[in-house]
Structure 1
Amino acid sequence: MTRSVPTIEGDMPPAMHTEVDGESQAGPPIIDAGPRNRRGTIPLHVHEQTPLLQQESEGLESAHESLAGPQNEAVGGQKSFWRTCRRPSLLWILPFLIVYMLGVGGTAVPRINLMMSLICRDNMARKATQNPSFTYLPVIIGSHNSQCQTPEVQSKLAQFQLYFNLLAGILSALACPRLGHLSDRYGRTKILALSAFGTVLAESITVFVAARPDLVSVNVLLLAAFVDGLCGSFTTIMALTMSYASDCTAPSKRSAAFGYIYGSLFVGVAAGPMLAAILIRKTGQALSTFNASLALHVLYFISVLVVVPESLSKERQHIARDSHRSKVSNEGEMGWLSLENFNPKRLITPLSILFPPVGCPSTLFPNRHGASPALRRNIILLTAIDTIAFGVAMGTAQVVIIYAEYKFDWGNVESSVFISIVSIARVINLFVVYPIVTAIFREPPKPEHIVSGSSTCEVVLIRISLLLEMIGYVGYAMSNQSSAMVLSGIVTALGGIAIPTLQSSLTKHVPRERLGQILGAKGLLHALARVVAPTVCSLLYSLTVGKFTPTVFVCLGALFGLAFCGSFYIKPHVSLEDSYPGSAHGEANEEEFASDSML
């Protein structure tokens, strides 16, 4: 007589033993329909053969584990090593950012010469058509042409550059905040790759124009500006790189991380033109610099898409997407191609998050208490001062050289030496001095769910940097010798730590879930400053040259003086607890950040 008795097994369905009673001792052996060589199988019925079978199975199990143990440990060790290597870190993205900036810096001067030679060629051809007796030397595209150094050609070049910068800057201003929001929902590296793809397309158009100038007009370069601006351009890549660094860097190390990012920018600005000059000297044509720049941008695009690990976890991306869906379902959202987006009011709409209301929920602070008055004031002041510092840096890049060449009769060699000295001073300041200072005066980290605000060290650094910038620009205005001009440039370079410190401090005033939005709004301000600041500085210089030539530097020194006074209203350690309800406290704490030894 037989009956089935179940066994208890951890994760397996009950196995059935065949029980044999005393009358059928000569029957078939005990059969376990379930897997017998698993720990956790406990037969409910015990008979004389059970111990022997259990010992046998346990022996087989121990033998199997002794053989499989080293293999499992090796596989586990490999996986752990791979996870450690693929952890998001500033060390992943920084080398490729330098590659990108080398491409940007290397084509800055050749692109201007390409525009000028194309404009000069068209202008000369038009004159020859109108006056058959008019003769001119052939224009070598992309090279120095003495016949093009006329006020008429210079004026047309300035107008074309204005159109080029306006087109790229306005489209970038429209795209930057939206791409920042997308990066919160779909990851930083994907949106970085999208912006880099726009740069690749724009550089491809430039290469085509430089290779076949006889087939196209200079206006084709406006298409490159359109594509580059539509994908966010340089300002979006910098803003998203800041977001990436914020994701994978502890708040206490964020200032140094931003310093490295801006140091990489100036490495490209300093080394790019020198490498381009060497390449042109060896190849004899400017086209080689555009080809090299295209190759560098393609390398950057592939790297951020394939090599650089994503800094936002899948969970945080899903939370951001769910939050966006609920917002769209409640408020609605217009498409990117809607004509309403080109309304000037819509252009500045993303900036509204920089003015969070006090005492009630907002986009940045959806908790029921909202922002505090001190928190709101800090955000507004930090954003305004950061925009001033960035705009002045962009607006004076050309004016300083023009002023020095006018006053001290500098040529290409002297101007290049001046740029190299100032850029090297900036790189040393951002890569050596700044990290050491932030490491010495680093404050202990606070829990992740607490908005910690600016540290005392950051506030002091902001004030010192603004003071140095003010002294440097006043020094430009008062310089009567070349050595004084160079010394003033070094002083302004030492004040260059203001921008990374301001941006690092700004990120400490919002929850991590809102970093993409706040940096996207900052990118919009940078895009607007990229258009407005050079126009204002160039216009002011053109109106005052020959009368009181250093007027522009006096005005900029006064502007930095106002910013320096405003920095005393920035309050350190303005904190807000539980600023983002629903986020897991401690979900991404210090353990999530990469342990970068360089920070």
Structure 2
Amino acid sequence: MGRAGAPSIDDATTWRKRASDSATEVDATETTALLSPDNEGGSTGGSGKKADRWDGLDDFVDTPWWRKPSVYWLLVPYFIFTLAFGGALVPKLNLILSFICKEHFNQSDSDPPALPVFIGGENPQCKIPEVQSKVATFTLIMNFLTGLLSAIVVPIFGSLSDRYGRTRLMALASCGGVLAEIITLLAAKYPDVINYRWLILGSVFDGMTGSFTAGSLLTQSYTSDCTPPSKRAVSIGYLHACLFTGLAFGPLLAGYFVKWTGSLLSVFYVIVACHILFIFFVGLVIPESLSKRRRSVAQEIWAKGWQDRAQSFVPWVSRVKGANPLAPLKVLWPTGPGTSARLRLNLVSLAVSDMIILGSSVAVGPVIILYSEYRFGWGTLEASIFVSAVSLTRTVILLIIFPAVNYFGRVRPAQRRRALGIVSHETNSGADSLDVWVIRVATAGEVLACIGYSLAQNGHAFLISGMLAAMGGLGSASIQAAITKHVPSDKVGQVLGAIGMLHALSRVIGPLAFQGLYAATVKTLPQAFLMVLGGLFCVAFTGALLLKPHVHWTTQGEEEEETEQLTPSEEILGANSRHTLPIDEDQVTMR
């Protein structure tokens, strides 16, 4: 645990400079392996050789296992969280459809339909253009409000989590979803008392707590805190696998549950219970990933900066006039000591690529389903098979292929290095070559998938293109892990908050752009939205080509440790070990 007494700002430097006293140490990049439980902190294992060091969990060395943070604490509750989010999509849409359809026929001057409208039931009489248009407009308003408020809240949550911890804010992020589903439940149970337009208030509550975007970004911040750089991309990949599995099977399970119970209301009871379970688990059970000492240091640094800003008094009216709603994005363009133009280019390239990959998955998914049904005559069954196949392919890539790539590209080289008796000290030293190449391959796969979608003449070719697009899951996990390795640990939440803001903005802009484009071109050139999407992925691929490995935001402590400039040969062999064999490492700095 941390030292007793009030920590000072200098503790941040001391914390970063811990090292082993009995062996030569190197600053490891992504080729470093994860610490095993028996070898943490450079202790000897059964073979008598020291393992690679990572000081991220040094404050938790003396704590019991149930108070030690780990990504594995998150997997089950996060999967439940994504199941609840995915399970609510289709039932809520059908509920809104029946509400609006009933109101439409009640207000219409034409004869009422032969069959009455059942709230939440199968209503074929509602499949008319007038009702579909009203439903699309209403859901667009809901998504716009949620996305807009999330874009404001998520950066704030990210910054607060650096100072006060991740778990409590993760629990808070789900509270808005609970309120939104309770309003939906009440509107469905008492439709004559509570008008369906109250669902807009639920969207406001959801957006005020960051919605699904805040929950996802805070879980990634938690993972970055307790996972060494060598395994961070794979760990975030596990979270993405939970995400896509939950989004794929949530609607399926919800549909079967409604069929089994015979009531649409039953699924909303389960969804509310899932949200409450997630809040309870992350708020009271999961150990906090930031120690009290690290939180105190971050709070003191923030307080000092606040005092400096307060000394330069500016009237509040002038502050409001000069307020910039995009100010949280400034962290993606850092200036000052320890930064560089190459760092800024890397961060912007990664942020834009991530926004395109994640934004397209939210905005284009429904349009691709509409296009496939229009182009190939698919029904609900065929479209469901397509979504499930693509989601399962993405899950397999993240759970099996990605860990295998990490093992052969990072763990095995680290094992060979340890066989030479060299102990490495893991630090955030930017994306490594494997990160860069994975991102390039993933974005190239997305470009090829868009070409395949556009040229597909049958459903089988379309399905193959969708499986190729599943490679984008590799890119998203690698990008978000690489972003955290470009910045100091005390700015991870702030940076991921800015990324979350971009996700929220894409959630607002993307559906407007792609759904509007498809509606305007479906009669003349239905593939137009795929061409635009392919162009965006070309931008993401270009950004991946601009990435340079081993670029990071250097802190004061790291600058003091770098006492001499190494030649290219010394970077490989080591300044103090010129007689040793070459190490299979992209970048090594010997102390």
Task: State if a TM-score over 0.5 links the two structures.
Answer: yes
Match of 2:143 among 135, 140, 165: 165
Mapping of 1:76-115 within 5 angstroms? 83-115=64-96
1:451–1:577 contact (8 Å) kept in structure 2: no
The structure whose RCO (Cα within 8 Å, separation 6+) is larger is 2
Identity %: 39
Mapping of 1:334-483 within 5 angstroms? 346-357=324-335, 360=336, 369-442=337-410, 447=425, 451-483=428-460
1:185–1:317 contact (8 Å) kept in structure 2: yes
Match of 2:297 among 319, 322, 328: 319
Q: In the alignment, which residue of structure 1 is the partner of 2:164?
A: 186
1:462–1:502 contact (8 Å) kept in structure 2: yes
Question: What is the CA distance between 1:341 and its match in structure 2?
Answer: 9.9
Match of 1:503 among 472, 477, 480: 480
CA distance in 1, matches of 2:506, 2:491: 23
Question: What is the CA distance between 1:379 and its match in structure 2?
Answer: 0.8
CA distance in 2, matches of 1:80, 1:408: 58
Matched, 1:120 2:97: no
Q: In the alignment, which residue of structure 2 is the partner of 1:544?
A: 521
Question: What is the CA distance between 1:397 and its match in structure 2?
Answer: 1.1
| CA pair 576-398 structure 1, distance change in 2 beyond 3 A | closer
**Structure 2 counterpart of 1:203, one-letter code:** E
**Structure 2 counterpart of 1:408, one-letter code:** F
CA distance in 1, matches of 2:454, 2:539: 18
Question: What is the CA distance between 1:576 and its match in structure 2?
Answer: 4.9
Question: What is the CA distance between 1:581 and its match in structure 2?
Answer: 8.1
CA distance in 1, matches of 2:553, 2:270: 48
Q: In the alignment, which residue of structure 1 is the partner of 2:496?
A: 519
**Structure 2 counterpart of 1:477, one-letter code:** S
TM-score calculated relative to the size of structure 2: 0.79
Matched, 1:559 2:536: yes
CA distance in 2, matches of 1:340, 1:197: 34
**Structure 2 counterpart of 1:402, one-letter code:** L
| CA pair 257-344 structure 1, distance change in 2 beyond 3 A | farther
CA distance in 2, matches of 1:125, 1:546: 32
Question: What is the CA distance between 1:85 and its match in structure 2?
Answer: 3.2
Question: What is the CA distance between 1:223 and its match in structure 2?
Answer: 0.9
CA distance in 1, matches of 2:62, 2:334: 43
Worse overlay, 482-491 or 573-582: 573-582
| CA pair 280-135 structure 1, distance change in 2 beyond 3 A | closer
Q: How many residues align?
A: 489
Q: In the alignment, which residue of structure 1 is the partner of 2:286?
A: 308
Matched, 1:142 2:128: no
CA distance in 1, matches of 2:320, 2:371: 37
| CA pair 332-164 structure 1, distance change in 2 beyond 3 A | farther
**Structure 1 counterpart of 2:362, one-letter code:** M
Q: In the alignment, which residue of structure 2 is the partner of 1:243?
A: 221
For 2:64, what is the secondary structure of its paired residue?
helix
**Structure 2 counterpart of 1:352, one-letter code:** K
- Please tell me the root mean square deviation across aligned C-alpha atoms, in Å: 2.4
CA distance in 2, matches of 1:351, 1:549: 35
**Structure 2 counterpart of 1:112, one-letter code:** L
1:511–1:580 contact (8 Å) kept in structure 2: no
Mapping of 1:22-61 within 5 angstroms? none
2:338–2:553 contact (8 Å) kept in structure 1: no
Matched, 1:210 2:191: no
Question: What is the CA distance between 1:567 and its match in structure 2?
Answer: 1.3
The C-alpha deviation readout for 1:495-524, integer Å capped at 9, x for no partner, is 321111011111110000110100000000
CA distance in 1, matches of 2:483, 2:80: 27
Matched, 1:226 2:204: yes
Question: What is the CA distance between 1:578 and its match in structure 2?
Answer: 3.2
Q: In the alignment, which residue of structure 1 is the partner of 2:129?
A: 151
Q: In the alignment, which residue of structure 2 is the partner of 1:19?
A: none
Question: What is the CA distance between 1:332 and its match in structure 2?
Answer: 4.0
1:114–1:141 contact (8 Å) kept in structure 2: yes
Match of 2:549 among 565, 572, 578: 572
For 1:346, what is the secondary structure of its paired residue?
coil
For 2:154, what is the secondary structure of its paired residue?
helix
Match of 2:252 among 271, 274, 299: 274
Worse overlay, 502-511 or 80-89: 80-89
Question: What is the CA distance between 1:577 and its match in structure 2?
Answer: 4.0
The C-alpha deviation readout for 1:142-175, integer Å capped at 9, x for no partner, is 1221111111111111111110001101111110
Question: What is the CA distance between 1:562 and its match in structure 2?
Answer: 2.6
Q: In the alignment, which residue of structure 1 is the partner of 2:468?
A: 491
CA distance in 1, matches of 2:224, 2:123: 47
**Structure 2 counterpart of 1:227, one-letter code:** F
CA distance in 1, matches of 2:201, 2:317: 20
TM-score calculated relative to the size of structure 1: 0.78
For 2:523, what is the secondary structure of its paired residue?
coil
Q: Which runs of 5+ in 2 are unaligned?
A: 1-59, 415-422, 563-591
The C-alpha deviation readout for 1:263-315, integer Å capped at 9, x for no partner, is 00011011111111110111112111111111111100000011110000000
**Structure 1 counterpart of 2:87, one-letter code:** G
**Structure 1 counterpart of 2:100, one-letter code:** I
Question: What is the CA distance between 1:583 and its match in structure 2?
Answer: 12
| CA pair 573-377 structure 1, distance change in 2 beyond 3 A | same
